[in-house]
Homo-oligomer: A and B are copies of this chain.
Amino acid sequence: MSFNSVLKIFLPHDKVFYILFEQVTTTLEQMAILLKEGVNQSQPDKRREIFRQIADQEHTNDDTTHKIFVELGQNFITPFDREDIHFLASTLDDIADFIHGSSKRMTMYKINLPDDGISKLCEVIYKATIELKRAVHELRYMRNLRVITEACIKINSLENQADDLYDTMVARLFEDEKDAVKVIKLKETLQSLETATDKCEDAANVLESIIIKYA
């Protein structure tokens, strides 16, 4: 008997959503830690191994996201609106996709690492995943909505930081780099990382709208 089946017997049915969303945000945080480690790693072999672990985690996350959709199809009672569960799961999955996609792109484009701008953006992504995890782990209790609101405000501010970092890095790139193909490669990588923080903001917006309905 699987762990999940046991859960289903002993737990009220809607609890399963909290558990699955908590799993997703825990995986996202781990992916962000690996991303930070990978981009700061100067040895290509070690970096490749770290990025391979990101791919594994992305796979794990796909499975968890799929489970959320299956539960959504089977459970009549859900802890919050079905559409919000659907949208939150999709948005969190997007974050995993962009973290994984960025790591893949850096390898394929043979980006020179460590790179100061990339490291800074990965730090912002990491901080945003911590806040997402905090907010999602509070959903279960809904005792302290302020925790969720504050996490969402921090994520919004982190997204602004990522925006500014992206703009500054690209402006610098335009000044310093004369090889246009290198400009394109690095700009694409920075953009992909910046989009990961956009997706964190999207997730924060879903969380905010869940709270608005609940309040």
Q: Measuring CB to CB, which residues of chain A are less than 8 angstroms from any residue of chain B?
A: 69, 72-73, 82-83, 86, 90, 101, 104-105, 108-109, 163, 167-168, 170-171, 174, 177-178, 180-181, 183-185, 187-188, 205, 208-209, 211-213, 215
Contacts and interface: CB of A to CB of B under 8 A. Distances in A.
| Chain A interface SS verdict (over half) | helix
Copies per complex of this chain: 3
Contact of A185 (B174, B177, B188, B212): B174
A69 B208 contact: yes
Contact of A83 (B104, B170, B177, B209): B209
A108 B73 contact: no
Contact of A90 (B69, B183, B205): B205
Contacts of A72: 212
Contact of A171 (B108, B174, B183, B209): B108
Nearest to A187: B184
A104 B163 CA distance: 11
Given A180-B181, A184-B180, A215 B86 contact: no
A171 B205 contact: no
14 contacts: A69-B208, A73-B212, A82-B209, A83-B213, A86-B208, A86-B209, A101-B167, A105-B167, A109-B171, A109-B174, A170-B188, A174-B185, A180-B183, A181-B183
